[in-house]
Amino acid sequence: DAKTTQPTSMDCAEGRAANLPCNHSTISGNEYVYWYRQIHSQGPQYIIHGLKNNETNEMASLIITEDRKSSTLILPHATLRDTAVYYCIVRDSNTGNQFYFGTGTSLTVIP
C-alpha cells in the first residue's frame, strides 16, 4: 500500500477548525484514503474515507486533491475531546483490506 506522510504533531484552538494534512504521492487508482483517530489507550475510531471526491459526514470533511496525491481532514469545530492521534491510511480493496498504520499526527486541542 502507498506510504503516507503526516506531520508529527499539531495544535488547534478549541472551537476553531482543525486541518490535518496527509501526503500520499504514490497512491494508485484503486486505493482509498481512510482516516482514523486513536484517543489514548483506546482502539482506533473510524472517521471518514474517500476515493477521489470530497466527502463529509457528521464528524469531519475529507478534501482530496484532484491528482489524489494529498488530502486534508477537516474537523470543523474542534473540541477538547478531539485531542487524539489521527492516522491517514491508504488501502487497495482489490488486493485485500489490510491497514498499515503510519505514525499519524498527534492533535492537541487547546482551551
Partner 1 sequence: GAVVSQHPSWVICKSGTSVKIECRSLDFQATTMFWYRQFPKQSLMLMATSNEGSKATYEQGVEKDKFLINHASLTLSTLTVTSAHPEDSSFYICSASFSRYNEQFFGPGTRLTVL
> Do 37 and 45 form a contact (C-beta atoms < 8 A)?
yes
- DSSP state, 26? T
Give whichever of 29 and 96 is closer to partner 1, judged by the CB atom: 96
As beta bridge partners, residue 32 has 91
List the interface residues with partner 1, window 11-50 (CB under 8 A): 34, 36, 38, 41-46, 49
State the nearest-atom distance from the C-beta of 13 to partner 1, in Å. 25
Question: Binding mask 87-106 vs partner 1 (x if CB under 8 A, - otherwise)?
Answer: x-----x--xxxxxxxxx--
User: Is the Cβ of residue 1 or residue 14 nearer to partner 1 in the bound state?
Assistant: 1
Exposed, middle or buried: residue 1 (CB in 10 Å: 0-12, 13-18, 19+)? middle
Q: Given CA atoms 94, 99, 29, 32 in this order, what sign does their dihedral have? A: positive
Residue 61 C-alpha cell reads as: 470533511
- 71-90 binders of partner 1 (CB under 8 A): 87
Cβ nearer to partner 1, comparing 78 with 85: 85
Interface with partner 1 by CB under 8 A: which residues?
Answer: 34, 36, 38, 41-46, 49, 87, 93, 96-104
